[in-house]
Each structure stands twice: as C-alpha cells, then as structure tokens.
Structure 1
Amino acid sequence: MKPSLLRRAAQADVCLLLEGTFPYVRGGVSSWVNEMIRSYPELQFSIVFVGSREEDYEGAAYALPDNVVHFEAHYLYEAAPADAQPAREIPGDAEAFARSAALHDAWRNHGAADAGVLMADMVQLIGDNAPLSEEQFLRSRAAWDFIVDQYNRYCTDPSFTDYFWTVRIMHKPLWQLARVAQQLPPARVYHTVSTGYAGFLGALAHYRTGRPLLVSEHGIYTKERKIDLLQSQWIRDNRGAFERDISRISYFRELWVRFFEALGKLAYDAADDIVALYEANRQRQIADGAQASRTRSIPNGVDVDAFAPLIEKRAVRARNVVALIGRVVPIKDIKTFIRALFIASRSMPDIEGWIVGPEEEDPSYALECHALVQSLGLAKNVKFLGFRRLDEILPQVDVIALSSISEALPLVVLEGFAAGVPAITTDVGSCRQLIEGSGDEDAALGFAGSVVPIANPAAFAQAVLELLGDEPRWLAAQQAGIARVRRFYTKKQMIEQYRVLYQRLTAAPTRAGDADGRAAARGGCPVHHGAVAGTPAQSQGVN
C-alpha cells in the first residue's frame, strides 16, 4: 500500500464499502465515488476496499481526498498461510447448522420473507469462537454431514469432490468479511455501492452496529455477475454427454449465480435505502427482493459547467473520430466496436476509432483486441490510447461509442453530451433513455445520437456512417445531448439528493431492534451450500 493511502481514524461519518473500484481501478464507478467524496467536504469518510489479490492492482489510480480519514484494503483470494496445526475433527454444533439450513431453505425459496429474521438470529452464532466459526465449517463432523446432505438432495453434478471444494472456495471470503466487520471503525452510516461482497460486508456492519445501511447500485450486481459466470471458463461441468440438458446451465454455474442472488437479497434486507440509477433498474431491484418502499432512483449527474468550455475548444469536424472511452474488458465488447470500424472504413476510409481506457484489468482480452485490429488491417484506423484526460480527448472526438453488453447509466455518455459530443450506444441499461429521452418533455429535445442492438457490428457501423455523414443531423444530435444533460443530469441535482439521504441517515438513532426482526447486534456469515457460492471480487463495480 502506498504511503498516501495509509490513513487511520477512530470513527467517520460515512463508511464507503467498495468492491474492485476506487481508488485502484479507473472507470465510471470510481470516478463517481471520487466526485461524491469531494462534494461533501463537511463529512468525514472512511473507505474499505475489497479486492481479489493485492497483485491484481497496480497501485492507486486516484489520490484520496482530504476528507477521507481512514482507508483499509482487504483481499479475499490471497493464498492462505500454511496451517501448522494437524487436521483434526471436531464435533460441531448440530443446532447451529440446522438453523443455517433453515436460512438456506428460505433463500432457495426465492428469498422468503423470513430470511431477514433468520439472518438476524444467525449472527449470534458467527465468530471465530462461535458455533459457526470458520474452524467449525472446515473441520466439524456437523459441517461434513451438512455438505453431504446438501449434495445428495440438490447437486446434479456427479462429482462430490468438485462439489466439496467448490463449497469451501465459495465460503472462504465470507468469514474473512465477518472478521473485517468486527474491526471496522464506527461510522454513522455505511454506504455500499454494490451488493456482492461489499454489500455483504455492509449488511454485517449494519447488523453489528445498528447504524443505517445505504445501498446504491450503478449496475445490478447480480445481473453483471451472472453475465461473467455464464462466460467463465473455470467452472466445471462433469456431466457426461448423455446427461447434459443443453437447455440448462451446469449445476456449479447455477450455484454461483444463486450465491450472488442470496448476497444481493441479504444486502437489500439490511438496507434502509436502496438507490438505482433509473426506473428500470429500480424495478429489477424490487424483482430481486428489495422492499419497494426503500427504493428510489437517483440518476448520475455531471458537472456541466466544467465541461462547457470544451464545446468551444472543439476543432472543425474533419477527422471523423469515434471514441470508445472505457476499460478494455469483455463486458464493454471492444471487439464489436473494432469490427464496426472495419465495416465503416470501407465507406469512410479516413475514419478513426480511438479506444481510450486502461488495459490492465484483463490483459488477455486486451491482447485479443490488439490482434483483431492487426488481423483486420486496421492499424491506421484504430488506436489504443490508454488512459487519457477527458478534457484532452473530448474536444477531438466527433462521436462517443458505447458497445457494451451491459451498462446502467453510463457517465461517459453524459460527459460527452456536456462537451458537445453525440453518442451511439447499444440498447442496454438506460442508454435509450439518454439518447431518445424519457417522458414528453425529455423526448421533445430530440435524439442525441443512435441506439443499436447488442453485438451487431453492421448496425453499429451504419449508425456511425449516418451520423458522421449528415452534418445537420450531427448538429441536431449535439444540441439535443447538451440540452438533455443540462436539464436532467447535472451533478448539482445528484449531489443534493444524496445530501438529503446522508443527512437523514447520519442523524438516525442507532436501532436496537425493530418489528421486522432486524436487530443491532446481528451480522456475520451464513453457511449455505444449496443456495449460495462466490467468485473472485476483482471485477466489482462495473465501470
């Protein structure tokens, strides 16, 4: 850890729980976190960063603002030190595991209403010297019997060995997070910007302290993890050719998906307020188990005054530059952008495609993208620029491209609008709302670009050619984007809405317990096999 991150404090106003984002990884979520902290100089923040392994992060990408008084980082997939003690069986607490089984059954039954109450009861059993300690899970006869029972009842994969070790790998981070929660400096409110591991930690902090928990999601974590899991190559499927049903995903893949669904439901149950970026995501949160009365939408906002001077700096359009500004990772579908540029270059030979963003998160994918550019003969058209300052890039860009297969409300599109740059996006998240407007007043402003299907290079190329090749259309799209961001998506609007939330939550009394069974003393790590499991945390917060 660099010296600039070594900050310690006994307490804070707001504790931010961040998985795989600020301050180590650049992107939309990290940029948002940085701006949020700096927007409330009157508040003291502590930050808990949760990542995969320390070696996966190349130092801090952001300097900590002055009002960050405490910082700590925890890595969930570091190699464990060798255990000097010989393995030995311990009896285990059968009653504790029975209560754990009841909790898992509630989760398995699509997040039954009593899961929150069961979790509140469970926390008294969690801890290094408690009936559901990590040692109990790893070495007790009760844990072994429970795993065998769950395998026999639910597992459709023939390998018990893979099931056994998958369960162990899944649960390792949860006990580590339970220990982190026990040692956190007190805060008046805990704020997690995702569910997942950070959301689990937020739930533990809330249950242990009785202080409010705020959950704000840029994307829907469970949806994004499901995409990752369905694409992953490391999950085993031991079924034979005649045992496989191609209409169903493998058991272990499904197990990981249910794990993150359960973590999401746990965070929602613990939260006092749950924020989505736009209405469709708020409805998705409700469908995933969030109580509707606790949900609200607060869209991202940008500092339009800071971007306004970039409009005047724009060069006369001559170069036909299309820029994809984002991380070079599969979820951004950089390859579709490259293929679209290949198609467009046949009709517009001087077109330039700039890929502006870090490549270190998924080096193998970045190499594949570079190789694709070379194989298509696009070295003169497509440039990888790495991380660059937006105020340097945007005045030189004619169109913002977003080819992602999943997004929420992408800041880069709003930033482009504020700088006078229209956008072409895939039909994901709130992109259609940003391009075409939502509601009569918004829609009357006009289209700020185009929306195309996911993973369709030909459609993307056609939209690029139509926008760049029609000057009146481009100018109308530019004006629509500028008007939309200034009317509906300003940083001032966003900051004020979060200020109201922070003021209410930090002033709330510590809750010793309430009617729905959520108690101040609760928190900890459930043991669940048929319902949940986990995956490395590096990718959290989709930026």
Structure 2
Amino acid sequence: MGIKILDKGKNVDVLFILEGTYPYVKGGVSTWVHQIITGMKDINFGVLFLGSRPEDYKGIGYQLPENLVYLETVYMFSEESNIESKRKTQASDKIKLLRVFLEDKDFESSWQNITSFEFFREITYEDFLYSKQSWDFIEEIYEDLGIDVPFVDYYWTMRNLFAPIFVVARLGMFIEKKEIGLIHSPSTGYAGFLGSLMSREYGIPFIITEHGIYTKERKIDILNARWVGVQYKYLQKKYDMDDLKKLWIKMFVNLGRVSYYQAKKVFSLFEEARKQQISLGCPQEKTKVIPNGVDVERLSRLIEIRPEGVPKIVSLIGRVVAIKDVKTFIKAMALLSKKLDGVEGWIVGPEDEEPEYAQECKELAKILGVEDRVKFLGFRNIADVLPQTGVFTLTSISEGMPMTVLEAMASGVPCVCTDVGSCRQLIYGGLNEEDMQIGQAGIITPVGDAQALAESYHKLLTDEEFWKKCQRAGLERVRKFYRFDQFIDNYRSVYEEYLEG
C-alpha cells in the first residue's frame, strides 16, 4: 500500500504518475513536472510517486506548490515484507497470462487480459510470491525460452521483474476513490502500466509524455548494469547478451506497448523521438510533439552579471550517473588542460543516485591528474553557475530534450553536446527553415569522443568572435521557439480538452 504524504481533501484535475522523479529527485523530469504544476495554478494536481526503496531517497527536494493537493508514495521493492501470509499454495492458472510480457506472440490480442484489476484480484501478489502455480510458471518459462543461466539467478530475476507489477496494481486498486479528471505519466514502464490499469478500470483519460524514450533508456541501463545477470563468466558465445538482460529488456518493451495502446495521446519532445515511439509500437495517430520551454526573460537577465570575456570554465550540469557519461567529460578535460592553462571543468549535480559511479569518476580525475581542474560541486542553483561558465556541455549517451541545454542557451552560454536526443536540433536548428537560418548555438560531437569534446571546448573558449556568434544564435532560438509560456499554453490546451470532456 502507498504512504499518503499529502491530502488536502480536494478533487484532482490532473494526476501525475511518476517513477523515481518528482518530488524526491531534482532536475530533468522533476523540473518539468514542477514547472507544469506551478505554471497552472488554477488546476489541482496530484502525484503518485513510484520509488525503489525508501533508503534510496533523501526526502522531498521541492517546495510543494499550493495546487498540489495530493501526494502518495509507494516503494516497489519494499512491499514483499508487507505480505501477511506466506502459506498460500494454490492460485489460478491465469498466472500464465503474465507470459505475454516476455514474448511477442499474440501480444496485440492478449495485452488487455493482464491490464485489468480483475486479473490482479484473481492473481494476487501473494499468489505470485508463494503459490505452486507461480513456481510452475517460472519453471516453464525457463525451459521454453531456453534460458542459459543458472536457475537461481533466473528465479530471482523473475521475482524482481514482476514484483513491481503487483505492487502498482494493488496501489491502483486501493487508492482513495477521489475524482480524477486526467492521468498524465512522463514515461511508460511501471508508471505507464499503472496509468493504463487505472484508465481502464475507472474510465479516466490517460496521456503520456516521454522525455527520452523510456524503453531505449532502460535498455541502455540494463546493458551497462552490474546488478543484472550473472556476475561470473560462463557464456560460450563471446559477445552474447546475458539471457537475464534480455528478459528485462523484453519486459520494458512490452510495458511500453501496453502504455501506448491504452493512452489517448502520446507526446514527445522532438520529431525523432516521435518516430521512435511509432517504431516501438505506438499508433501513429496518437503521437504529437510538444517541445519544452524555459523562462527566457528570467534567464537572459543572467547575461548582465557575466564577467568580461569568456570564462575558462566548462560546466556539465546534471546527475552524476552513467547515462550522462561523466567519465568522457573528465577525459576531455584532461586533454583540454594540456592545451589551455587555467581551464576548469565543473560537474554540477547530485551524486547520490549512482554513488559507485560518482566515486569512479572522482578516482578517474585523480588518475588523469586533473583532480584540481575537475570540480564536483553537487547540486547548485543554475543562476549561480551559468554566469561563470564559458561553455555548457552535455556528454550523455542518451537524452530527450535536455532542459539544461535550453537554460544555458537562454542564459547566453554556448553549448557543446553529444549527438543524442534533440541536441542537434537545439544547437543547429531543425524545427523549420527559419530555425535553421538562425545558425549554430554551439557544437555537436559524437558520443564518447573525448578528443572531439576537448577540441570543441578549446574552439569556443579561445575564439571569442565565434563564441559571441553562438551566444546570439542560442538566445534567438529559445526566444522564438522554446519559451515557457508557449510550453504551458500547449499543455493547458491538452488538459482542457480532456477535463472539459
């Protein structure tokens, strides 16, 4: 069951279902959600937060807006201890319908069988954990799919794969029956699945906005994860992917398809992402692009407090996690420091999400001899960072439409970004011919190319004429195409369409 944090006793116009983001984790999607809530003060919002375990979060990281009237939290991997009985031995054979998550066979005709509270009333979490039918189901999948890993590793993988499904289903079934006008999820995955369940059961319209492509990002996470799969080498095929990772990827692919099928509308932040959604099974007629926006007037005032000239500081603003590829940034700074005296690299963002990775980044800086040049500043207000920054950088291996790039451009800071998500569109223009005529607001480099990053930083930090040209282009682009008021108006129109209906 969920933990109710806030309930003002009011109906919820728009209920956000959020996985691992707002209000406990700052930045990215959380900032986007906070902007929408604070930008529409006349609409009452609610939040269902789906987290991993309580110890993974330090508490609420935002001042909760007045029009946030409901907040409930559930921890998907801490609920097993709340199961009262461990003696249940019989369950319905319908448990085998869960197989649809792990294969493509008959998916389009069978996904609705497991996207219903009726299924989860008949097959409970206790049934999945302790019944003989569940054991038989898990054993059957192992044999039929020819899983080539030790059974004990496979068994616990299956438990972890499906446990959140039952947790979120139970949350949906027992959530307080208040009036909800619209459900909005910024992802597919478990949040999208819960949105699909509640939409079908209660007849509530359901929409999705994907920032990156959730399925793609989870695939990257899983392929790089140390916690998935067998920790010792035994595979005969040198380049074979661990079968357990294949199960996780298939699970997220099919969770995504469920969300796409049930949603009324599926939004993305840029055109290439919309095409990827369609390729992953989303009906084309449901898709639409709504770009992010930033407060250009507020951010552009930061230009007034910039120092003369171009500061020799390259700032990476974001979480210190593997998908941001902070290690490549550190390598680039090591190369740059050999060519440019006095240059510094600032890493501005929380380090608690992947602490082992953060520690590896710090050790890499020491190994490369740049621990005095690369500074880990933790979470900071961007208004204190961007005016001191000569170049903003993003070195990620996957992104959607990064808010930090828009904020940097609006603050008059040229950008060097890897060629991921919408970064090429933001830096070089791509919405239309007018956008492209504005010119480049920085430089795009290949993913994982420390040499190209270092050369791009050097170009911007030493060529002031080019730097000013990029600054002007970035400012013009955000003012014309990525304003906060445009962004809010777009979502207000979406909300009103469903709330009035």
Match of 1:269 among 241, 257, 261: 261
1:81 aligns with 2:76: no
Deviation at 1:156, TM superposition (A): 2.4
CA distance in 2, matches of 1:432, 1:191: 28
Given that 1:191 and 1:216 are in contact with CA atoms closer than 8 Å, whether structure 2 keeps it comes out as yes
CA distance in 1, matches of 2:11, 2:362: 47
**Closer/same/farther in 2, CA of residues 166 and 419 from structure 1, 3 Å limit:** same
CA distance in 1, matches of 2:353, 2:289: 30
Match of 1:431 among 423, 435, 449: 423
Amino acid at match of 1:66: E
Unaligned segments of structure 1, at least 5 residues: 509-543
CA distance in 2, matches of 1:259, 1:84: 28
2:446 aligns with 453
Given that 2:101 and 2:250 are in contact with CA atoms closer than 8 Å, whether structure 1 keeps it comes out as no
Alignment of 1:37-52 (within 5 A): 37-52=37-52
1:326 aligns with 2:321: no
Given that 1:157 and 1:237 are in contact with CA atoms closer than 8 Å, whether structure 2 keeps it comes out as no
Alignment of 1:297-308 (within 5 A): 297-308=289-300
2:272 aligns with 280
Structure 1 range deviating more: 470-479 or 245-254 = 245-254
1:135 aligns with 126
CA distance in 1, matches of 2:154, 2:191: 25
Match of 1:149 among 130, 140, 143: 140
Q: What does the per-residue CA deviation read over 1:189-236, in whole Å, with 9 as the maximum and x for residues that have no partner?
A: 000111111111111111111110010011111111111111111223
2:342 aligns with 350
**Higher RCO, Cα 8 Å, sep 6+:** 1
Deviation at 1:490, TM superposition (A): 0.9
Given that 1:157 and 1:251 are in contact with CA atoms closer than 8 Å, whether structure 2 keeps it comes out as yes
Match of 1:113 among 108, 112, 137: 108
Deviation at 1:494, TM superposition (A): 1.1
The count of aligned residue pairs is: 496
Alignment of 1:226-241 (within 5 A): 226-237=219-230, 241=234
Structure 1 range deviating more: 149-158 or 187-196 = 149-158
* TM-score of the pair, normalised by structure 2: 0.94
2:487 aligns with 494
1:187 aligns with 2:170: no
Amino acid at match of 2:257: K
CA distance in 1, matches of 2:190, 2:314: 36
Unaligned segments of structure 2, at least 5 residues: none
2:329 aligns with 337
Q: What does the per-residue CA deviation read over 1:14-50, in whole Å, with 9 as the maximum and x for residues that have no partner?
A: 1011111111111121111111101111110111111
**Closer/same/farther in 2, CA of residues 114 and 327 from structure 1, 3 Å limit:** same
Deviation at 1:87, TM superposition (A): 3.2
Deviation at 1:388, TM superposition (A): 1.3
Q: What does the per-residue CA deviation read over 1:398-426, in whole Å, with 9 as the maximum and x for residues that have no partner?
A: 11011111111111111111111110001
CA distance in 1, matches of 2:69, 2:225: 38
CA distance in 2, matches of 1:21, 1:100: 27
Name the SS of the counterpart of 1:113 in structure 2.
helix
Given that 2:397 and 2:420 are in contact with CA atoms closer than 8 Å, whether structure 1 keeps it comes out as yes
**Closer/same/farther in 2, CA of residues 145 and 234 from structure 1, 3 Å limit:** same
Name the SS of the counterpart of 1:18 in structure 2.
strand
Deviation at 1:83, TM superposition (A): 6.4
Given that 2:316 and 2:392 are in contact with CA atoms closer than 8 Å, whether structure 1 keeps it comes out as yes
**Closer/same/farther in 2, CA of residues 160 and 377 from structure 1, 3 Å limit:** closer
CA distance in 1, matches of 2:97, 2:80: 29
Amino acid at match of 1:178: A
Deviation at 1:100, TM superposition (A): 4.7
Given that 2:309 and 2:464 are in contact with CA atoms closer than 8 Å, whether structure 1 keeps it comes out as no
Match of 2:301 among 296, 309, 314: 309
Name the SS of the counterpart of 2:426 in structure 1.
helix
Given that 1:157 and 1:239 are in contact with CA atoms closer than 8 Å, whether structure 2 keeps it comes out as no
Deviation at 1:180, TM superposition (A): 0.8
Alignment of 1:20-99 (within 5 A): 20-78=20-78, 80-81=80-81, 85=85, 87-90=87-90, 92-94=91-93, 96-97=94-95, 99=97
CA distance in 2, matches of 1:104, 1:226: 15
Alignment of 1:201-216 (within 5 A): 201-216=194-209
Deviation at 1:125, TM superposition (A): 2.6
Deviation at 1:143, TM superposition (A): 2.7
CA distance in 2, matches of 1:40, 1:86: 47
Deviation at 1:381, TM superposition (A): 1.9
**Closer/same/farther in 2, CA of residues 114 and 350 from structure 1, 3 Å limit:** same
Name the SS of the counterpart of 1:260 in structure 2.
helix
**Closer/same/farther in 2, CA of residues 332 and 276 from structure 1, 3 Å limit:** same
CA distance in 2, matches of 1:99, 1:345: 58
Name the SS of the counterpart of 2:69 in structure 1.
strand
Amino acid at match of 1:463: S
Alignment of 1:448-527 (within 5 A): 448-508=441-501
RMSD: 2.1
CA distance in 2, matches of 1:114, 1:84: 35
